[in-house]
Structure formats: structure tokens, C-alpha cells
Amino acid sequence: MGKLRGFVEFDRREAPERDPRERTGDYREFVGTLPLAELRSQAARCMECGVPFCHSGCPLGNLIPDWNDLVYRDRWQDAIEQLHRTNNFPELTGRLCPAPCEAACVLEIDEGHAVSIKQVEVAIVNRAWEEGWIVPRPAAVRTGRRVAVVGSGPAGLACAQQLARRGHDVTVLERDEAAGGLVRFGVPEFKIEKHLVERRVDQLRAEGIEFRFGVDVGRDVDPDELRVAYDAVVLATGSRVPRDLPVTGRELDGVHFAMEYLYARTRRDDAISAAGKHVVVIGGGDTGADCVGHAHREGAASVTQIELLGEPPERRPDDLTPWPLWPMKLRTSYALKEGGEREFAISTTRLLGEGRVREIHWARNSGEPPFAVVPGTEETRPADLVLLAMGFVGPEPEPLERLGVGRDARGNVAAPAYATSVDGVFAAGDARRGQSLIVWAISEGRRCAAAVDSWLAQPGSRETNSPRSSRSTQHA
């Protein structure tokens, strides 16, 4: 239990950030951590609730009260043990998670006072890496069963690690040249430095996971062959088909999907660049924000981010999303703090230019469906680079179609309990639940691994190798 009355005594402290003007000069991470002593008083604010809403708010079910307490009591090694129990990659979530746990924290009933859970989380894992507490934990017993995991995003990686630790032989097939999925190529370096991802991948490798990069399943490898070569196949290919913008001028040069831009930036590929340009990002979400952040660092002439929806309220609207629900309220992204403009309730009417895009026309709308345009609000802005960051509509169809797995109404892989309609084929992450969050991806990867594991333990599962005897179940 934290400190009695800790939450009254200490105020919530946000993580320190580098000065917005200074940080756009480089690509290093800009969010820091509080000194350990302060972190411990932040952890001391946790009351270890009888019903820890934070813990139910975290999709991973992180044992937040437990490790808050351990941090408060300065028992960091025990803390990482508890943290790793539910979360394979706290260095990802601790940096990148929007922290629904904090929105649900009991102290957030008084808005703005949640325990700084995410900061504690990242501090634990940072400390653990520094101290060398995080080491490979290869399985004691090998089962000889083989599993192929397609996609090395957080879902694929979490799934692979869980399966490897259950003693299965896991191969990860990834079409990119490195592992991590969107975290590796979508999320900018200044939000998470890529060596951190690599470090984790090394641990997985040391636990016996085989990585095969540059393998596009469906193109380079016949998915059906995988089914033959492996006892089970996991599809963790993400939700990669971007939503398009059907307006005049869409086909012009200089109009790109956000992902193309972000991949390029990560690869230091200057094919798409914002340097010296008027940049318009369409889509007010986090992907858009990352585009804005990059554009600043490249030295864009101007950056504007527009959003179809109206401007949300500044405080939690208790009639719509009362505690402990995720509040639909205005959040100003880190990138906009660094500069640029933001407009709400904007409908793009057309893009203009000759060959290359030159300007964007838009009008204001009602701010909610059906987004009726307000007459007489047409405006025009210069636009040399237009980035479409309007979300994703679903997983790429090829491998799915080849395997013949069923899809749900939204086009995602239908796998209610992680098993798809095809025997021995499973799905996890954005590919299954649609565009989502890293924390969900890890959670899905873990649950999917458990499903695969129990499926493998069934006498009916296909076997390529020696069977193993049934195993005791998890819960005592």
C-alpha cells in the first residue's frame, strides 16, 4: 500500500519534456523521466484500491497497484517481475500508451489527478534494463511444436515470446527489414528510439525465436505452405490498408498516405520530404500528429492539421463519457505544442495543383455526422505536401484470402477466440481487432499465444513433431 494520504500530500507530476522549440532540432526522444525519488512519491499516491479501476482500464491488466507499491518501497526488481507478468514490452507502452489506466484511476474522479502510472511503468523497465535484470528466459523444456508468426509488430512479438516461453519453436516472418511493425517504422524515433526495440528483439532471439525478415507472406511465401510446415500459424499483420480521401486532386503528386511518409522518415529516405514546404495533414489523430512532428523537424514552411470532427470539450464530459470511461475530450498533441495550426470540423472539398499539389480547399462542417458543410465557409490554403492520416480500414487482404480465413463485418480477421475459421490458423493485433493501440496489440498477442498453446495441447491438433503430454493449466 502506498503512503497513507499520499494522494493528498503529493500532487500529480507530469513527465518532464524537452522544450518544444529545442527538441525539434533533433530526433532524440523528448519525454524524460522524473528523478527516482519523485517517482517514488508519485507511486506513493497510489492507494492500492480494493477495486483498482486502473487495472481494469489497462487492456493488459497490468498489476498497477502492486508495482506502484513496490516502487514506493524501492523494490524495483520485484516491480519489474510483476510488470513483466502481464506486459512483455513495458518500454513500448511506458512510452507510447495513451494510458487508459490513468483515465480510469480512482483519483481521476477528480479530473487531472490520476496516479502517474505510465511514468512509473517506464521507470521500472528503464531501471531494469540499466541494471541488467532483463535477461533472456528460454523455456526449460522444449515441446518440439512449431509455430509461424506472420508480422513482427507488437502483437506478433508478444505472441512469439509467449509461445517460445511455453517451449514451442517459433519463427517470425516479417516483410520489413526489421522487427517492430508500426512501432519500428510508423512511430517516430523521437517518441521511441529504435535501438530500444532492437534490444528487446535481441532478447526474443536469445529465447530461441527465429526471425526471417524481408519475407512477404502471400508473395514470397505461400501461406498454405506455412500451414504444412508449422503446427500453427498466427496472423499478426496489422491493419495496414489506409482510409483514402475521395476528393478531386487526390491523384496529384505530393499527396501521400501518412504511412508512406513515416516509413520514409524512419528509413531516412528523402523520397518524401516536408523540408521547406507547406504541409497539410488531414486527420486529427495520433498518426497525423506524428506527421506534424516529423514535418517540424524537417523544417517545413508551415504545418496545418485538420480534423473532420468538431472540437471536443476541454474537460471530461460526464454526460457522455463519465469516469471511468475513456473521456472524449480535447487533447493537444505533443506535435502541435511544437508548432503548427489545428482546425476542427473541416471537410476537405478538393486539392488543387498541376501535377503537384499546390493548394487545399476546405469548408467548415457541423462537426458531427453527417458533417453538413456550412455554406460560405470555403477557404483555401497553400499545400505542397498533403498527408492523409485518416486511419486504416483493415488488414491487407492477400494472405488472408490465400488462407481463406473468414472476415468480420468490418473486414478484420474473424477470430472471436483468436482461432480463425481455418484450423490451426490464429490471428492477433490490429489484424483482428482493427486499428488500435500497442497495449491492445500486446494483450492480443498474449491471449492469442494462450489460445495457440492450449490448441496445441489438444490431442486433435495437427502435429508435425513429437507430441507433448498435457500440461497443468495456469491457475492454481
The Cα 70–Cα 72 span in angstroms is 5
Based on its alpha-carbon atoms, the radius of gyration of the chain, rounded to whole angstroms, reads: 23
151 binds, among another protein, ligand SF4, ligand FAD, none (CB under 5 to 8 A by kind): ligand FAD
Asked if 476 interacts with another protein (CB under 8 A), we say: yes
139 binds, among ligand FAD, another protein, ligand SF4, none (CB under 5 to 8 A by kind): another protein
The Cα 271–Cα 406 span in angstroms is 37
81 binds, among another protein, ligand FAD, ligand SF4, none (CB under 5 to 8 A by kind): another protein
Q: Which is nearer to ligand SF4, 97 or 187 (CB)?
A: 97
Write each residue from 316 to 355 as x if it is in contact with another protein (CB under 8 A), else as -, in one continuous string.
--xx--xxxx------------------------------
Residue 43: closest CA among 21, 17, 15, 65: 65
**Which residues, 6+ apart, have CB-to-CB distance to 473 below 8 Å?**
none
Q: Which is nearer to another protein, 82 or 305 (CB)?
A: 82
Contact 145, 433 (CB under 8 A): no
Q: Which of 132, 369, 466, 472 binds another protein (CB under 8 A)?
A: 472
* C-alpha cell belonging to residue 140: 526449460
- Chain residues in the site for ligand FAD (CB under 6 A): 96-97, 150-156, 173-176, 181-183, 186-187, 215-218, 236-238, 240, 262, 286-287, 290, 396, 399, 429-431, 436-439, 441
Asked if 192 interacts with ligand SF4 (CB under 6 A), we say: no
Q: Which of 34, 39, 101, 389 binds ligand SF4 (CB under 6 A)?
A: 101
Place of cell 487531472: 112
* C-alpha cell belonging to residue 15: 513527465
Number of C-beta neighbours around residue 161 at 10 A: 25
Q: Which of 39, 106, 235, 280 binds ligand SF4 (CB under 6 A)?
A: 106
Asked if 117 interacts with another protein (CB under 8 A), we say: no
Provide, rounded to whole angstroms, the least separation between the CB of residue 106 and ligand SF4.
Answer: 4
64 binds, among ligand FAD, another protein, ligand SF4, none (CB under 5 to 8 A by kind): ligand SF4
Asked if 441 interacts with ligand SF4 (CB under 6 A), we say: no
Q: Which of 66, 91, 121, 286 binds ligand SF4 (CB under 6 A)?
A: 121
Provide, rounded to whole angstroms, the least separation between the CB of residue 451 and ligand FAD.
Answer: 16
Residue 419: closest CA among 459, 447, 397: 447
Provide, rounded to whole angstroms, the least separation between the CB of residue 75 and ligand FAD.
Answer: 28
Asked if 315 interacts with another protein (CB under 8 A), we say: no
Q: Which is nearer to ligand FAD, 47 or 282 (CB)?
A: 282
Binding segment for ligand SF4 among 12-20, 34-42, 102-110, 245-253 (CB under 6 A)?
102-110
**Which residues, 6+ apart, have CB-to-CB distance to 48 below 8 Å?**
1, 2, 65, 66, 68, 69
306 binds, among ligand SF4, ligand FAD, another protein, none (CB under 5 to 8 A by kind): none
Binding segment for another protein among 43-51, 178-186, 257-265, 458-466 (CB under 8 A)?
43-51
Binding segment for ligand SF4 among 43-51, 267-275, 403-411, 428-436 (CB under 6 A)?
43-51
Place of cell 489460445: 451
* Polymer length of the chain: 476
Contact 178, 213 (CB under 8 A): yes
**Which residues, 6+ apart, have CB-to-CB distance to 139 below 8 Å?**
164, 165, 166, 167, 207, 208
Residues that bind ligand SF4 (CB under 6 A): 46-49, 52-54, 58, 60, 62, 64-65, 68, 93, 97, 99-101, 105-107, 115, 117-118, 121, 439
Residues that bind another protein (CB under 8 A): 4-5, 7-8, 47-53, 55-57, 61, 63, 65-66, 69, 73, 75, 81, 85, 104, 106-107, 109-110, 139-141, 166-167, 318-319, 322-325, 471-473, 475-476
